[in-house]
Amino acid sequence: MTRVLDVENLRVSFPDAGGRRFYPVDGVSFRLDRGKTLAIVGESGCGKSLTSLALLRLIPPPGRIDEGSRIRLEDTDLLALKSEDLRQVRGRRIGMIFQDPMTSLNPVFTVGNQIAEGILAHLPVSKTQARDRALQLLQEVGMPDAPARLDAYPHQLSGGMRQRVMIAIALAAEPDILVADEPTTALDVTVQAQILEVLDQLRARRGMAVLLITHDLGIVAGRADRVAVMYAGQFVEEASTSDLFALPSHPYTQGLFASVPRISGPVQRLAPIPGTVPPAAAWPSGCRFRPRCPKAFEKSHTEPPMLPVGPGHTMRCWLAEE
Amino acid sequence: MTPVGEALHRAWHTPRGRVSAGILVAIGLVGLFGPPYLPDPLAQPDILAGANLPPGPSHPFGTDQLSRDVLARVVTGARVSLAVAVLAVGLSMTLGAAVGLVAGYWGGGVDAVLMRLVDGALAVPRLFVLLLVLALWERIPVIALIVLIGATGWFGTSRLVRGEVLRLREEAYVSAAEALGARRRRIIFRHLLPNAMGPLLVAATLGVGDVILLEAGLSFLGLGVQPPAPSWGGMVFDARAVLVTAPWAGIFPGLAITLTVLAANLFGDALRDAVDARGR
Amino acid sequence: MMLLSIRDLVKHYGAGGFFRRSEPPVRAVDGVSFELERGETLALVGESGCGKSSIGRTILRLQEPTGGTAVFDGIDVFSLDRGALRQLRRRMQIIFQDPYSSLNPRMTVGAAVAEGIEIHRLARGPEVGRRVAALLEEVGLDPSYARGYPHEFSGGQRQRIGIARALAVEPSFIVCDEPVSALDVSVQAQVLNLLADLQRDRGLSYLFIAHDLAVVRQIARRVAVMYLGRIVEEGSTEALLSEPRHPYTAALLSAVPEPDPASGRRRIVLGGEPPSPSNPPSGCPFHPRCFHPAKSDRCRTERPVLRAVGKTFAACHYAESTPTQVPH
């Protein structure tokens, strides 16, 4: 297992109205390995998107990554990089695709132009070579009739096609890591399946590490090797995908499973998690899930660390000690 | 808090908003309550010996060539200039909003006809029309001046409001109101107009600055507010002859114009930021 | 008698008129028929561009239909004049997909919920406030929320407010236009439960528009699958999901991400793109993307009609032999 990215104790802070800092990402640690997919699953407000932005140091001011966070890309400390070196990393070592392909592409340039731009920014090739490369990339991401699409403008393409273009741009400079932040949420179900298939094939063929951010447990089931469930700025459970689905251990994870409608199995009344997600500026004290947890007990007033549940399976819950 | 209130509140809480609003309010208050404490702006006590006196203890802004107290005239001029600006802009906004709402909501032929009329009106230079009318109508009463300025200034606003209405029409809450059985009037006044107020308010504030300049320009040409009623533009006009020897008669009204227009523009900017920031 | 009976509904956009652009009309709804019984939920499922949202709005006459009929409780909806239509609106309501644009940001929650009551003069004075409080409670919200403005509330809460607003006029039929698509998983479950409870307690009938088959299975007993403005398959939810007869249904079913890595379902990954409703293919609208092994020239030239096949109704020439799995 070749480790390519190491994140330790990542904390991102923002100032609130009174100027004090709060932590929407509060102590996240994980690693990415070549050729493997890690999925971070969580609902809105859990901090998953900020986590992915932090990797490329794209946190918008006045937010910032806190001291004590560590992000190492192989031997490079990403947090210590100067802006020119950081620019080299963005795109060249880590590629990113965003949720909404409608707004992520520049409407006044052709897609071929935008892909080539990504290539030219990082690789010492000529414009013609870049254009050829762009065509290859479009074919690689499964764009139908790629030669014609090369000179199309974004508004002429459908949502699925635009997302393919986004992927092509992200891959343009041959990154080792691909970060996909909700890549299929805005797409139709059948197109979603196509895009996920493309991502999977690319990962296998290029040996990239993939970080997949999503709220959809279903996507995770088929496509990720390991899963981390995120709640209130922290990972609350982490395991291989099969282990997580076989034995969801954290009460939040269990709650998520119980509240998702199923396409097979008996139709039962859904059991939603009571209450709502707490705001980042006011995380509950102790275990952050305690106010909504059906299994809360006295020890829940103390914040739990990640504790082992089984081999390669941890959760942030005192119940692990039972 | 009501939407308008919230925008004002938010604009107030920026340094720029507070300073500019403070200036505007101060000018308004001084204009409103100042005159009783000041000499008669029309009085010409002593043309021979009291004219063109430099600023001093008895005349903080000096006197003009007819020995009238400049400070008193600037303060009274504030009343006139602000009244003209606010009322004229009020008229423009009302007309513009009405036409924009009807055109935007009814659509189709009504919209097409109204907008072609507006296009035509916009093609005619406003200043030209004003100059023409004012040249023909000597000694125009202030009310007529206000109506004239207001009636020639609503075209751009109608387009602005129409654009907002076109956008708002597609919002789900408008469909919801229709589904509940709301009549057109309710939809326009409860759902469309309140949500179009933001840009309208900004346009109005900036418009006040515009009209102050316009009126000052017209008065400077002798076509606006007629003497002996003091107006800032008129005072600058009167001071042309003595601009070198007794500049204060022209500088102070000029400063008043500049300061007021600047404050209006800054507050308009602050309001625009407040309205935009509301997260549409 | 059926509560709602829709026959050959057609809705085209952008056709004709002096001031219109000269482009082919968008054939959003192209001949749709179905019926809804009292107290039942029928789901309309499809992807973007299939016309499902247009159907909901057209039935309520938020848009005028291009053709067809809609009979609600014996009343011909499309022939009513404005006054009679306003009366009818009390009985047919709608809840929307986007919680962030479904409430007027300048109106308090209480005013929004009370609007229907005011329009139809169902109550006056303090009675209005009492009704609003009762409605808010019924949808699981604190009555004190009536004083707040929409931006103070979360997506799930706003959806509830929208539901309370619709309930205020005491409808018997509600078009639910993708009401949970924009919500988080756990909030989605809360709202789905609420809708089910309200149906049971008030005897409501729903036309539930969605793109997620798993959600549909949770709430609807019957489902119609739409593609490019037409219904391509229709039947009871259980039948349709266990034995789909139209290839598109099979593909939709296969594409639903299932939280079970060991489910062993083989995936059908549809090639091609969802087609454009302004330029539909000839013959069967699905044929360019269809993977049915028996696909033939007939599919390109002849439009299939809905007919009984197996346990459902499907519009496919070869529905008898539709594979649910494709050698991939």
Tokens 């009609």 correspond to what residue? C305
As a whole number, mean pLDDT of residues C186-190 equals 90
**pLDDT of B82:** 87
Q: Do C274 and A158 touch (CB under 8 A)?
A: yes
> Is residue B3 predicted with pLDDT exceeding 70?
no
Contacts of C213 in chain A (CB under 8 A): 189, 263
Name the domain count of chain B.
1
**pLDDT of C328:** 35
Mean pLDDT, chain A, rounded, equals 90
The most confident of A221-230, B61-70, C18-27, C315-324, by mean pLDDT: A221-230
Residue of B116, B173, B191, B201 to mutate, interface with C, max C Cβ within 10 Å: B173
How many Å lie between the alpha carbon of A267 and the closest alpha carbon of chain C?
A: 6
The most confident of B73-77, B105-109, C127-131, C268-272, by mean pLDDT: C127-131
Which candidate, C321, C163, C155, C133, places its Cα nearest to that of C243?
A: C321
**pLDDT of B206:** 87
How many Å lie between the alpha carbon of B120 and the closest alpha carbon of chain C?
A: 19
> Is residue B232 predicted with pLDDT exceeding 90?
no
User: Which residue type occupies B214?
Assistant: L
**pLDDT of C189:** 92
Q: Do A264 and C263 touch (CB under 8 A)?
A: yes
Which candidate, B184, B185, B176, places its Cα nearest to that of C116?
A: B176
Residue C324: pLDDT band with limits 50, 70, 90? low
Q: Do A215 and C211 touch (CB under 8 A)?
A: no
**pLDDT of A303:** 92
Contacts of B176 in chain C (CB under 8 A): 94, 96, 102, 162, 165-166
- Backbone phi and psi for residue C307, each to the nearest 5 degrees, phi listed first: -145, 160
pLDDT, tens digit, 9 for 90 and up, residues C201-229: 999 999 999 988 889 999 999 999 999 99
**pLDDT of C72:** 94
As a whole number, mean pLDDT of residues C86-114 equals 93
Q: Chain A contact for C278, CB < 8 A?
A: no
In a domain, B220, yes or no: yes
Domain boundaries, chain C: 246-321
Residue C325: pLDDT band with limits 50, 70, 90? low
**pLDDT of A1:** 67
In a domain, B49, yes or no: no
**pLDDT of C17:** 54
In a domain, B54, yes or no: no
Q: Which residue of B has its CA nearest to C99?
A: B172
**pLDDT of C265:** 62
User: Which residue type occupies C192?
Assistant: L
Q: Do C186 and A272 touch (CB under 8 A)?
A: yes
As a whole number, mean pLDDT of residues C45-69 equals 90
How many Å lie between the alpha carbon of C89 and the closest alpha carbon of chain A?
A: 31
Q: Do B172 and C57 touch (CB under 8 A)?
A: no
**CATH code for position B15:** 1.10.3720.10
> Is residue A255 predicted with pLDDT exceeding 80?
yes
Contacts of A255 in chain C (CB under 8 A): 186
Q: Chain C contact for B176, CB < 8 A?
A: yes
> Is residue C19 predicted with pLDDT exceeding 60?
no
Residue C20: pLDDT band with limits 50, 70, 90? low
C157 with B171: CB under 8 angstroms? Answer: no
**pLDDT of C326:** 43
Give the contacts of B166 (CB within 8 A, at least 6 positions apart).
Answer: B104
Mean pLDDT, chain B, rounded, equals 86
Q: Chain B contact for C170, CB < 8 A?
A: no
Q: Chain C contact for A194, CB < 8 A?
A: yes
| Eight-state DSSP code of residue B63 | B
Range of the domain at B152: 3-41+59-276
Q: Do C107 and B190 touch (CB under 8 A)?
A: yes
In a domain, B35, yes or no: yes
Q: Which residue of A has its CA nearest to C50?
A: A188
Measured CA to CA, the distance from residue A146 to residue A138 in angstroms comes to 6
**pLDDT of C21:** 59
> Sign of the CA dihedral A99, A101, A107, A113?
positive
Q: Cis peptide leading into C257, omega within 30 of 0?
A: no
B11 with B21: CB under 8 angstroms? Answer: yes
Residue B280: pLDDT band with limits 50, 70, 90? very low
Residue A222: pLDDT band with limits 50, 70, 90? confident
As a whole number, mean pLDDT of residues B57-86 equals 85
In angstroms, the Cα distances linking B60 to B36, B72, B240, B243, B248 are 16, 10, 20, 18, 10
Per-residue H/E/C for B145-196: HHHHHHHCCCHHHHHHHHHHHHHHHCCHHHHHHHHHCCCHHHHHHHHHHHHH
What residues form DSSP beta bridges with A12? A25, A65
Q: Do C259 and A257 touch (CB under 8 A)?
A: yes
Long-range residue pairs from C282-285, CB within 8 A, at least 24 positions apart, any chain: C284/C315, C284/C316, C284/C317, C285/C227, C285/C228, C285/C229, C285/C230
pLDDT, tens digit, 9 for 90 and up, residues A266-320: 888 999 898 888 888 889 999 999 999 999 888 899 999 999 999 999 999 999 8
Give the contacts of C46 (CB within 8 A, at least 6 positions apart).
Answer: C52, C211, C225, C226, C227
Give the contacts of C151 (CB within 8 A, at least 6 positions apart).
Answer: B278, B279, C105
